[in-house]
Structure 1
Amino acid sequence: MKESIRQAVLKQLDKQDRQKKSEKDRVMTEELLDKAVYQSAHTIATYLPMDHEFDSYFLIAQAQADGKRVLVPKVIGPGQMVFLPYDPEHLQESYFGVLEPSHGQVFSKEAIDLIHVPGLAFNAEGYRIGHGGGYYDRYLADYQGVTVSTIYDFQQATFKEEEHDIPVQEVICR
C-alpha cells in the first residue's frame, strides 16, 4: 500500500503548476516562520529539495537572516544520516541526486531545536511515507526536539503506520 501511495504522490508532485507551487511554498514558509517553535529555535535542520518538493530555500534564507544556525542532512551509510551546517559553497550531489554538504561539523541531535522533515505522504496522525530508505525514522527515533513538515494538500493520505514509523508533531498543509 505504501508503495502505491508513494508512486501516486510522486506523479502529482511532478505535474504541479510551478507558479502555484511557488506561491504555496511561500505561504507555508511564512506560516512556519510565524510559529513560536521557529521563533525560539536557535538551530534548525531542514533539507535541500528535489525539484518537485517544497522549496526549503525560502526557509533557509529567512532562518539565516534571522541569525539561526541552519543544518542539512548528509547520508553517511545505509539508513544513516547526520546534520551538518548549510554552506552553499560546499555542496555535492548525493547518490540519491540531492545536494548535501561535502564536509563540515556534525551536530548532535540535542543541539537541534527544530527539524523540518520531508515526506511524500502524511496521514492524520503525522506519520509519513518518505522515499523508502528509513533515514528520518531512524534519526527521529530518539530525537527530543520539535518536528514539523510542509506539504501540499494532495500529500494527505490514509494509511496505517508501521512499528518503526515516527510521526512528525505538526504538518503545515496548503
Structure 2
Amino acid sequence: MDTSAGPHILRAGKGDVTVEPGMLDRYLLESAASGGSIALVEHVLDPKVLAAPIHRHSREDEYSFVLAGTLGVIEEGVEITASPGDLVTKLRGRWHTFWNAGDDELRVLEIIVPGGLEAMFRRFGEPGGEYSPDTLPALAAEYGADVDFEATMPLVERHGLVF
C-alpha cells in the first residue's frame, strides 16, 4: 500500500476476495502492507457455517469485531456468542474457533496481530485449496498452527454446523 501521496482508501466492496463454500474472505490490509505488524480480513459466513476446525496458533493474536449477525466462539472449551459491536479476543496459544451462530449472514472484521496468518486464509480459497483432516495439519504447521479435528466434530454436531 503506497500512502506517500496521501491517505489510501479501500472502497466498500473492493479488495481481493477468496471464496469457500459458505464463506467469503475480503482482504482489507495484509501484513506486507503494514510491515508485518497487522492484517485485517473481513469474514462473511452463511448461517451455521464453521469457519475452521478448532485450532491454535503460536504467532498471532486475533480480535474479531462483529459487524453483523451472531458470532459463536469457543476458546479453551468455553463457548460464547457475540453481537454487532462486540469485540472478541482470541490470544495465541489458546484452542479456539468461531462460527455463524445465527440465522442471518455473519460479518466479522478479523484483526490479526502481527499479520501473516491471512496468507493461510488465501491458501484455503485457492483452486485445489480443499484440505482434509489428513492434509490440513501440515498446512497449518507451515503457519505455526495446530488443528484438532477430534474436538471439532462434537461442536459441529452440538450446533448443527456446516463444516
TM bucket (normalised to shorter chain) is: under 0.3
Structure 1 length normalisation: TM-score? 0.25
The one of the two structures with greater contact order (alpha-carbon pairs below 8 A, sep at least 6) is 2
Structure 2 length normalisation: TM-score? 0.26
